[in-house]
Chain A
Amino acid sequence: MNKLLEVNQLKTYFFTDNGTIPSVDGVSFSIDKGQTTAIVGESGCGKSVTSYSIMRLVDSPGKIVNGEVQFEGKDLTKVTEKEMRTVRGNEISMIFQEPLTSLNPVIKIGNQLDEILILHQKMSRIKAKKQSIAMLQKVGIPRGEQIYRSYPHELSGGMRQRVMIAMALSCNPKLLIADEPTTALDVTIQAQILKLMKKLTEDYQTSILLITHDLGVVAEIADRVIVMYSGQVVEEADVFTLFANPKHPYTRGLLASTLQLDEYKGNLDTIQGNVPSPSNKPTGCYFHPRCPVAKDICRKEMPQLKNLEQTNNRVRCWLFEDEKEGLLHAENA
């Protein structure tokens, strides 16, 4: 098997004063070595919480209540905190949406880069400094020496995100989780950062788990795409199939709403309504109140995430269930 990461029935709930919120509600997927997988969905669909769950960085009142995260033969939900620390930053590292706030404002860039090398690679300070400056150059920062001595507020957003990438890749991790890495950046900078991520991960043979709501970014670098809605996976496919032949009505809606204007004559399509409140989800398929093709059964029963014939692609929708089986289910209920 060349599966690097396998997430199984992951459930992460938030236990708040106003009740339990199932942010991640039984998510399963896997990532192959060297592959770039994107999780897309609207804000609040649980995509970020999924990625934090993999890293076990979910803060109280959030808690992983079920499922496993298989990584290199270990279940990351079960290992000790100490063992988990040897995974974080070393084998799986992360970059975040806000380069402005993701770097510590009172610690120099160099120190922030060095500490990860000293921690995981057991490097000396001098060696770490050399390596850090080399990493800065690799992410396209020309004056590495100077940036090394700077504070984060002295850098532009794009530069800071490059620093984050340098930091994330400095221990040569097997998986890079990028949580909306380009959302806060200018469009021109976005393209540069994506290109950089693509190039470096190819060089280092790193898999990427990209969390984004931007299908443009997905099209640019992803191999596989997972579409999440309200804490669940609703569709999973390789990037070509997903763009060419989206199955789930939600995916179709997402694609339609992001089509560029010049390609799309007529009204701009949007998905009606809002993401359901996670503490008060509808019965049946969570998407049915917004679904243009909802049937009776969609209102009553949750469809299963099913493999489509002859492919690895999966979809969670009654439209693609065996007609007969679906009816049977309905009668039983």
Chain B
Amino acid sequence: MVKFTRMALAVLTGLFAAPAFAEEAPTLTIYTYDGFASEWGPGPGLKAGFEATCGGCVVNWIAADSSIGTLRRVQLEGDSTPADIIVGLDTATAGEARDTGLFLDHGLALTDLTLPEPWTDKQFVPFDYAHFAFMYDTDKITTPPKSFEELIAEPASFKIAIQDPRSSTPGFGLVLWVKAAYGDRAPEIWKGLKPHILTITRDWSESYNLFLQGEADMALSYTTSPTYHIVSDGDHTIKAALFEEGHLAQTEVAGILKSSKHPELAKQFLAYLTSTAGQKIIPTTNWMLPVIDLGADLDASFEGLPQPTKTLTITDADIKAHGQDWIDEMLAAVQ
């Protein structure tokens, strides 16, 4: 029995460790969240695309279970981290990441960006974005609420599924969105939302599935979520409800670590990530909007996507100073 165990372990190690040994060419080690690196995500396409242009380098994705997990891992590893780049932090966590002092200036001009707001970040490069929004099913709801206040005015049987701000990026995004839209009135809005909150899940996927299963009328997701259903199932019934208050955008970013042994190569990767070739891969794998104008290369499902007319913003400094208080405020209001 023990022998078998040992054998099985040896096979296991061989099986999973093999990719780590196969390296002679310069290897770019990139930490990201697991959805990004998975077979459905942009990871494989970006790896193939960049390796074809960089002249014999190797891209090695290392996937942690969440984007915040990649940052925590780098913080724990400090200067000894094998990572050259982190891909997948977002605008709400970038401030905290910057303060660790672990990130290098990217030095890219980034002149072609088509983000809703001008980009001034010196350490982090944006690679996709979408606005937070509530999804609804046109078969079930003909007139979706057009603001948080209209949502609050729905009958109590109208349920939404949202995410816990302490464990989920969109969950935190909603806290910021309400704050950006209503400021000091935020607790009042949360109190109004409380009867409509079916539940507050750990991850985005759980809320979204409650919505797809018909348990909730709406779920917090992204304005771009409908494109997945259009592209993959030809289903046009899932739509994002646009709110008059305006929407907060989540922009995903990448940054180079100071401890990288290949900073030039890392910079090339970020340039590729924001180039037309790199950006073409992202919309139909990560289901977010590109950060440059792709013209005809952007999938048609994105072209017809309703976009909010007003984009709300919150500064890094505010998030860092007050984020925790806002989470507490929200939790207290819906308690």
Bound pair (A, B): no
